Structure 1
Amino acid sequence: MGTSRLKWHILVLATTVLLLVPLLHAPTGNACIAWITMDTEQFYSFDYIIPSYLIDISGYETYKQLYYLAEVIGPRRSGTNQSLPAAIYIAEQFRSFGLKVQWHNFTFTVGRTAICRVVAPEGLRREIRDVAVDAQSPDTSGIEARVTYVYFTNTTNEFETVKDIISGTIAFIEVPYEKYTTTFRRYACRKAAEYGAVAALVYSYNAAIWGTSETSGRVDLSEAESSESSLQQLPIPLLYLSYRNGYPSSDAEFLKAHWSEVTLFIRTNPAYNATGYNVIGILEGSMEPEKYIIICAHYDTAGAAISGADDNTSGTATVLELARVLSRFKPYVTIKFIVWDSEERGLLGSRAYVRDFKDDIDKGRILAVLNYDMNGAGYPTFKVSLDTRPMYGSRPWPWELFTDEQLAKFNGFIAHTESVLYDKLELPKGTGPGYFEVRNDTLDASDHYPFTSLGVPGWLLIGAERDYPTYHTPGDNLEYLIKAMGGLDNLITSLRISGLIGGTLALEMSKIPQSEALKAVGKYFGKAECSLVLEGRKAIHEIMNAYRKGEDFKAVAESWIGRLREMTRRFVKALELTLNIVKPEESHALSRDIKVKTEQLNRKELLLEMNIQCLLELLLKRTNYWYKHSQIWCICSIATWKV
C-alpha cells in the first residue's frame, strides 16, 4: 500500500472516530428521544438568554394555565359567584407546588348593576353585556319597550326628528366623544324624558364603562350645565353602553343596526356588600423569613361576560408558572405569590392588603413588588415599568425633593433592571415593535400602585401599548389573543419571557443556597451537552444532504459552525448567570464548578467543529477512492441518525 493510500485510510479512520465519539458521551435511551421531540425548542433560544436556574420556566405550561382559567373557568367578575371557583383553583395549584396557602378576604360594596337584554324578536334575542348604571339613575324593577335611536350633539334639537316615535320607548343615544361627560350624558337623558322616553341607554366612541371623565368636554356645554343639579335624581333610568379604545362593542353595533326591530328589557339591581378573595402562596425564606418579595397579578375580569385572556388571565398564569418553578428552591427571604381580587373595581384587593399589612411596609419587610398585568400581548414588544417614586397625595414625589441617597437608590434600581433585561437576558433594547423598554414612571391603574405609593419599589410587567380593540370587552378571549399576537408561538414566547424576567429579578434579590445553585447548574449542563451533540449530528446530516444535491455544502458547514459557537456562548453565559443568585461569600464551589463545565462545553463544541472540518475535507477530495468506499456514507449516516 502506497504512502498516499495509507494517509487516506488514516484520515477516514480519524473521521469515523470523531463522528462516533460524541455518541459515547451523549445520553441514550427513550428518555433522550422524548426530550428531543418535546422539549428542545423550550431549552434554548437564539433570541434571548435562558438562565440555567430558570430552564423549567415554560411558555407551554403557562399557556395551559391561561387556557384553563380563561376557557374552562371563564369570566371572573369580582363580587359575583364567578370569582370564588377561580380562587379555589388557584389555591389548589399553590398547594400542589408545596406552598403554604393563605386566604386574605375583604369586604366591599358593589354598586348598582343592570340587566339589559333583547327579548324580541326571537331571532335577535341576546344579552347586552357590561352596561353601567348612572349614580343618579332611579331604580326600576323592569321596563320592556321598543327602541329609538338618536345621535345627539345638542347643536340642533335632534330629538325633534324622532318626536313622533320616541314616546314610550327606550332611547338609544349616541353622543360624540368630545361631549361624553357625566353632565352631558345626564342632559341627554333629561331631553329624552321630555319627549316621553321611558329609559335611556347612552354610548360613545372611546367611552369608559366604569367611572366617568370630565376632561373631554371641549365644547360649550353651558345649556346642559345650567340645567344640571348634582343632587337631582334623573327622571328615567340611565344606563351606559360604551365603546372601548375607539372601537365599538359588538352589542353597540348590534343595537345600532337593529334598533328599529328589537324590544329591550331593562332592570336595575340595588347595591350590595360582597367578599373579595386574595389568594397567597407562601414560599418561606430559609434565613430571613420575615422579609419578603411579592410576585402578583389580579385574576378578576372587567365584566361578568369577559374571560379576560389578556387582562389579566395572562398575568395570573405567569404567577402560577413562577410559583411552580421557584417553589423548588429555598430562597433566603420569603416569596409571596399573590393573586388579587377586585382590581377592576379600583385595586380593591391590593389596597385591602396594604391596609391590613401596613406594618410590613412601615418596618421595611416588603422588599419589592413584581406585578404582572396584560403581559400576554407583549411579544415581540414589551414594557417593564418601574414605579419607584413614593407619592404624596395623588402626585409623584418630585425628584427635586429627593436626597442624594434616595436618588442613588432609585437610579440603581433602574440600572439593575436594565442590566437584567439587556445584559443578562440579552433582550433587544429600545421602543416600538421588536424591542423591550424599561421605563421609570408612575402608573396608578394596577396592583403595584398601593405599594409603590408608600415607597415600596415595584415593577409593572406589561405588554406594550398596541392596537388591542377587545380590551375590557367580551372579545378579550383566547382566540382573539392568539390572533392579535400573530399565532400561538408568539403568545407562548411572550408568556415565557415574562416569567424569565420576573424569575431573574426575584431570585437575584432573594438569593438561594449554593447547594441548590450547584444542582441547577448540573441539570442545565446535562441538557446543554446533549443539545450540542444533537445539533452537531444535525449539522453533519445537512452538510451531506447539500453535497448530494450539488448545493454549496461548504457554506452550509460554515453556517453550522457559527451556530454551534453561538449556542456554546449562550450556554456558558446561562451558567455564569447562576452566580448572581448566590451570595458572593458562598459562591466559591459554584464558581469552580461553572469554570469546569464551561471548559467541557467549549471542548465539546471544538470536537464537533473538528468533525465538520474533517467531513468537509473528505467531501472536497472528490477522489475515485471516495466513491469506491461508500461505506463512509453509511458511517456518517449512522453517526447522524442513531441516538
Structure 2
Amino acid sequence: MRRKALLSLLLTASLCFSTAAVWAAPEKNLTSDQAFDNKIVKRIKVENIYNHIAELSKTPRVAGTPAEDRAVEYIKREFESYGYDTDVQEFEIYTYTEPDQLELHVDGITFDPAPSSFQYGVNGTVTGELIYCGLGAESDFEGKDVTGKIALIKRGSYTFATKILNAAAAGASAVIIYNNADGVMNGTLGGPDDGYVPSLAITNEQGEALKTRLDAGETVTATLIVEGAATDKAMSHNVVATKKATQKSTGELILVGAHHDSVEGAPGANDDASGTATVLELARVFANAPTDTDIRFVTFGAEENGLLGSYEYVERMTEEDYERTVGMFQMDMVGSKDAGPLIMYTADGEKNIVTDLGAAAGARLSETGEATPYGMEGRSDHVPFTEVGIPAALFIHAPVEPWYHSPEDTIDKISLDKLTEVSHIVGAAVYQAARPDTPALGKAKVAPKEVDYHFEERELE
C-alpha cells in the first residue's frame, strides 16, 4: 500500500471538488428524479434478495473453507446469469482451527454459557491474578502491574486484537474480554500475530461479576486453558462483475460491494449475506438499465479476517481505475429486523459523494422526506478505499442486532422492509450518478441544490 501513497494524495486532491457537491436534485426536478428512481426501485424484487440470503446462509461461510468456495460459485453463477463477464480474484489468507479444549476456572463462579475463543488466538495454560484494564487501550495499563497476570477487559472502542496486543505489551500473560451487551460473542483477531497471549471471551454478566469482586478489593485468581487451536494458510476470493456504460461513456466508475464471508459458527444471514444478496439483486436490475457510467459489483472475501478481500481488491486496481472511480457503496448487515435505523458511515467522519447521493436518495424515497444520516465508523470494506482517496461509505443498520457474530444470525431474523429500504436507497443513489442525463460527477460545473443531512454519534454496537 505504501507504494501508492503519492497516488492517494493525487486522488484526494482531484476529488476535492467532487466531494464538495451534494448530488441532490433541485426542487423543480424532484418529480423528475423520482421518476428516474422508479426505473430502478420498481424493478427490485425484495423476494429475490431474501432467497439469496436463504441460500447463502445455509451454513457459515468462513473464508478459505469449502463453504466459502460454494458461496463464490453461487455468486459467480448469478452474476453470469445476468449477462456479466465475471472475474474471481484469488488471494492467500490464514485459516483457523478452533481449540478442542477451552476452560476458565475462578472460585465462586460457574461459567454458563461457557467461554468462547477468538479466531487466530493462541494456545496456553495460564494461572494468574485478575487485573481490570478498562477497554484495553494503552492508557488503561498505565500505573498497573499486569506482569504475569490476567487482564480483564471490556469489549468496545478497540479491536479485540488491539486489546490483546496492548495487554501483552504491558506484560500480561493472558486476557479475558467480556461482552458489552447481552449474549455470547464470537470474535476474530483478524489474523495471526506472534504478540498474542492466550485469550477468552465471556458474557457481560460474567465479566461484571468479576469486576464487582475486584472493585470490592478482593484478589481474584483465574486459570485459563486454550489448547488445540491451529492456524494454516488457505485461499479466499473476491467476485467481480462489471457493467459497461450503454450510452456515451463519461469514463467514470462506481463500485457497489458487500462481503460474502461469515465468522465461524455463524450462518451470517445478516452479516453479510444480506449485503451480498442486495448486491446480486442490484446487479440484476442494472444489467439492462441505460447508463453512461461503468458500475462494478464486488463481493469481498475474508472481510472477517481483517478486510483482506477489499485490501486485495484495492491493491489490484489499475491506475486508470483509481483515477476514474468516483465512489464506493458498501452494504454490510442491511437486513436484521432487530437492528437500529439505517446510517451511512464514512471512515473519516466526513461527507462525500457517496453520502451525498445516499442522503438525497433517502430524502426522495422517504415518506417523510427525511435524508439518511451519516456518522463515523470503520470496520468494513469501505475503509481500504478511503485510505487511497476514493470516496466510500458503509450502509448499515445500527446499533447491530444482539446476535451479531453468533449462531443465531439466521434467516428468520431478516426484515423485508429493511432490505427494501437499503436496496432502494443504494439503487436510486447509484442510478442518479450513472444515468445518461446527469453530468459526469467529476466534471460537473454547477453543484445541485444541497440536501440537509446530519452527522450522528451512533455506536455500531
2:395 pairs, out of 451, 457, 461, with 461
Aligned equivalent of 2:434: 510
Aligned equivalent of 2:253: 292
Cα pair 1:384 1:437 within 8 Å, conserved: yes
Task: Tell me the CA shift for residue 337 of structure 1.
Answer: 0.9
Determine the C-alpha separation between the residues in 1 that align with 2:398 and 2:369: 13
Aligned equivalent of 1:178: 134
Determine the C-alpha separation between the residues in 1 that align with 2:321 and 2:39: 33
Determine the C-alpha separation between the residues in 2 that align with 1:247 and 1:265: 24
Cα pair 1:209 1:242 within 8 Å, conserved: no
- Matched AA of 1:426: S
The 5 Å alignment of 1:58-97 reads 58-70=45-57, 72=58, 74-97=59-82
Determine the C-alpha separation between the residues in 2 that align with 1:203 and 1:427: 47
Determine the C-alpha separation between the residues in 2 that align with 1:153 and 1:181: 17
1:356 aligns with 2:316: yes
Determine the C-alpha separation between the residues in 2 that align with 1:103 and 1:281: 9
The 5 Å alignment of 1:43-122 reads 51-70=38-57, 72=58, 74-110=59-95, 114-116=99-101
The 5 Å alignment of 1:490-529 reads 491-512=415-436
TM-score by length of 1: 0.48
Higher strand share: 2
1:450 aligns with 2:400: no
Determine the C-alpha separation between the residues in 2 that align with 1:112 and 1:241: 20
Determine the C-alpha separation between the residues in 2 that align with 1:54 and 1:179: 43
Unaligned runs of 5+ in 2: 1-33, 104-110, 186-200, 207-223, 442-461
Determine the C-alpha separation between the residues in 1 that align with 2:81 and 2:274: 20
The 5 Å alignment of 1:147-546 reads 153-154=130-131, 176=132, 178=134, 190-191=148-149, 205-206=154-155, 210-213=160-163, 225=170, 228=171, 242-249=177-184, 252=202, 266-286=226-246, 287-288=248-249, 291-301=252-262, 303-362=263-322, 364-377=323-336, 381-386=341-346, 415-422=356-363, 424-428=364-368, 437-439=372-374, 441-465=375-399, 468-479=401-412, 481-482=413-414, 491-512=415-436
- Matched AA of 1:462: I
1:384 is paired with a residue whose SS is: strand
Determine the C-alpha separation between the residues in 1 that align with 2:318 and 2:373: 29
Aligned equivalent of 1:564: none
Greater relative contact order (Cα < 8 A, sep 6+): 2
Report which of the two structures shows the higher radius of gyration computed on alpha carbons: 1
Determine the C-alpha separation between the residues in 2 that align with 1:412 and 1:66: 29
- Matched AA of 1:212: T
TM-score by length of 2: 0.65
Cα pair 1:130 1:209 within 8 Å, conserved: no
Deviations 1:350-408 (A, max 9, x none): 1111111141344x221211110111137882112356x6xxxxxx8xx9xxxxxxxxx
Task: Tell me the CA shift for residue 273 of structure 1.
Answer: 2.1
Deviations 1:81-133 (A, max 9, x none): 33111111111111112111111111234478533468xxxxx9999754346
Determine the C-alpha separation between the residues in 1 that align with 2:296 and 2:353: 24
Determine the C-alpha separation between the residues in 2 that align with 1:66 and 1:471: 16
Aligned equivalent of 2:118: 131
Determine the C-alpha separation between the residues in 2 that align with 1:354 and 1:212: 24
Deviations 1:10-51 (A, max 9, x none): xxxxxxxxxxxxxxxxxxxxxxxxxxxxxxxxxxxxxx9962
Q: CA, structure 1 residues 453+95, in 2 after alignment: closer, same or farther (shift >3 Å)?
A: same
Question: What's the C-alpha RMSD, in Å, of the aligned pairs?
Answer: 4.4
